[in-house]
A and B are shown apart, each in its own frame.
Chain A
C-alpha cells in the first residue's frame, strides 16, 4: 500500500533490459522497471537522457535494439499490426508539443479516436467531445482550430483526446515543458485530478522534480540511459542514493534561477 493505492499482484507493464542506439549514440542502456495498475509512475531525468525515447517504446512508436516491453504479460514488440492496434486502443498519449492535427478543429481532434474506432457519429460524437473537453476545463471551444488556442490549452486538448477512448494507461511526454509556472501548476493539478477521476494508470516523463513529486506515486530516475532509482516520492526525497541526491541538488539550484525559455511553437 503506497499513497492509499492497493497494488494488484504482478506488474501491468514490464519494461525489461531495453537498449536503443541512434548511430553511435547509445541512448537507452538496459532500462528495466515495472508499472503497476492504477499508479502514477513518473520517469524523471535530465533533458536528453532518453526519457521520451523510452516512453515511445512503451507504446511501440519506436522499436528497441534489444529488450522487451510487456503489456499484461505480452511482449508488444512481437505483435503484428492488428494486435498492436488493439493494445494501443487501451493507451492514450499526450505528446510534448501536444501534436494536435492542425488540419482539424479542436472538436474533430478529440472526436477522431471515437469516430474511427467506435463509429460514433453526429450528436453522440459532439456530446462525447464536449464531455471530454469539459473534463479538462475547456468546454465550448470545440469549433476552434489548434492554431487559435494557447500552448497550455493545446496540452489540455491533447489530454482530452488521449482520454477519449477511456484508456487504461495514459502516457505524458513532458506535460509541463514550455509552459509558464502558473500554467504548469494547472497542468500538474489537471493530471492529478484526471488520475483520480479515471483511475487509469499513468506514466509521466518529466525533468521537473517539483512536478514529479506533486503528481507521482512512484518515481523512476533515469541517468545515462539506465534507471538508477525506483521508489515512492517520499523515498526519493529521503534516499541517500548518490545519483538521486545529485539530481535533486541540481534541481533545487535550477529553481533559484529564472527558468530558461525552451518554448517551441509549431
Chain B
C-alpha cells in the first residue's frame, strides 16, 4: 500500500509541476502583446542567457567535437573509409550533440540562476510587491526570460555547431591524418539543410524549456534560503529531464515526419 501511495504522490507531483508550468507559460504568452514595453528587459535577459553562457558553450563544444572525431574514427575504422569522418561528425553535431549538449550545460547554468533569482524575489516578498503595484510578474519577469531562451539557445547552438565541427576538423587533421579537403568533402556529401534546421528547432524548444522550468520553480519557491536552493535544484533537474524526453519526441517528429 505504501508503495502505491508513494507512486500516486509522485504522479500527482508530476502533474502539479506540469500544470503550474502550463499556467506560467500561458500567462507569459498572454503578456506578449506588451512586448514593445519590455524590449529593454528582453535584451538584458538575452545578455544573461546568451552572452554570459558563451565561455561555457565554447569549451563544451570544442571538446565535444574533438572527442567525436576520435570516437568516430576509432569505432568506424574497420567499416568506413576516413572520407566519411567529416560526414559523421557534421551530422552528429548539428542533429544531436550541438543542440542537446548546449541545452544541458546552459540549462544547468541559466536554469539554476533564473530559479535562484526569482526564488529569492519570491521569499523576500519582491514578487508580492510587484503584484501589489499592479505589475504582472509574468510579463515583467517570465516573458523576457522566455523570449531570451527561445532566441538565444538556437544562437548558442549555431556557435556550438561551428566550434564542435572546428574541433573535430583540427583533431582529424592533426591526430587522425585526415586532410582538410577530405574532411570538407565528407561534410558536403549528404549535406541536408533540414539537418541543421531540425537541430535549431530543437534548440529553440530546449531554450523555452530551460526558461520556463527556471521561472516556474522560482515563482513557486517557499521557505527561505532552503526553499531557494530547492527551487534551483528542481529547475535544473526538470529542465534536463524534459530536454532529454523532448529531444526524443522532437527528433522523431522532425526527422520522421517533417524532413524524412
Partners in one complex: yes
Chain B contacts of A89 at CB under 8 A?
133-134
A113 interface residue, CB < 8 Å from B? yes
Q: In the assembly, what is the distance between CA of A95 and CA of B130, in Å?
A: 11
Instruction: Mark out the residues of chain B between 77 and 130 whose CB falls within 8 Å of any chain A CB in the assembled complex.
Output: 117, 120-121, 124-126, 128-130
Q: In the assembly, what is the distance between CA of A215 and CA of B135, in Å?
A: 30
Q: In the assembly, what is the distance between CA of A134 and CA of B189, in Å?
A: 71
1/0 contact string of A73-113 vs chain B (CB within 8 Å): 00000000100011011011101110111110000000011
User: Which one of B117, B131, B132 has the greatest number of beta carbons of chain A within 10 Å?
Assistant: B132
- Nearest-CB residue, chain B, relative to A84: B134
- Nearest-CB residue, chain B, relative to A103: B117
Interface size band for B:
10 to 19
- Could you tell me if A85 and B124 are in contact, using CB atoms closer than 8 angstroms? no
B136 interface residue, CB < 8 Å from A? yes
User: Which of A88, A99, A161, A171 meets B134, CB within 8 Å?
Assistant: A88
- Could you tell me if B132 and A97 are in contact, using CB atoms closer than 8 angstroms? no
Cβ distance A91 to chain B, nearest Cβ, rounded Å: 7
- Could you tell me if B134 and A93 are in contact, using CB atoms closer than 8 angstroms? no
Chain A contacts of B125 at CB under 8 A?
95-97, 99
- Could you tell me if A61 and B124 are in contact, using CB atoms closer than 8 angstroms? no
A117 interface residue, CB < 8 Å from B? yes
- Could you tell me if B126 and A61 are in contact, using CB atoms closer than 8 angstroms? no
Q: In the assembly, what is the distance between CA of A92 and CA of B134, in Å?
A: 10
Instruction: Mark out the residues of chain B between 130 and 149 whose CB falls within 8 Å of any chain A CB in the assembled complex.
Output: 130-136, 140
- Could you tell me if A116 and B135 are in contact, using CB atoms closer than 8 angstroms? yes
Chain B contacts of A61 at CB under 8 A?
128, 131-132
- Nearest-CB residue, chain B, relative to A173: B125
Cβ distance A67 to chain B, nearest Cβ, rounded Å: 20
- Could you tell me if B131 and A88 are in contact, using CB atoms closer than 8 angstroms? yes
- Could you tell me if B136 and A85 are in contact, using CB atoms closer than 8 angstroms? yes
Chain A contacts of B133 at CB under 8 A?
88-89, 92-93, 112-113, 116, 161, 165
- Nearest-CB residue, chain A, relative to B138: A81
A262 interface residue, CB < 8 Å from B? no
- Could you tell me if B132 and A93 are in contact, using CB atoms closer than 8 angstroms? yes
- Could you tell me if A101 and B134 are in contact, using CB atoms closer than 8 angstroms? no
- Could you tell me if B136 and A93 are in contact, using CB atoms closer than 8 angstroms? no
Chain A contacts of B37 at CB under 8 A?
116
Chain B contacts of A117 at CB under 8 A?
134
Known: A61-B132, A92-B132, A101-B129. 8 other contacts (CB 8 A): A59-B132, A61-B128, A91-B132, A92-B133, A96-B125, A100-B129, A102-B126, A116-B134
15 A-B contacts (beta carbon < 8 Å)? A56-B128, A86-B134, A89-B133, A92-B133, A93-B129, A93-B133, A95-B125, A96-B125, A99-B128, A101-B121, A101-B126, A112-B133, A117-B134, A161-B133, A266-B124
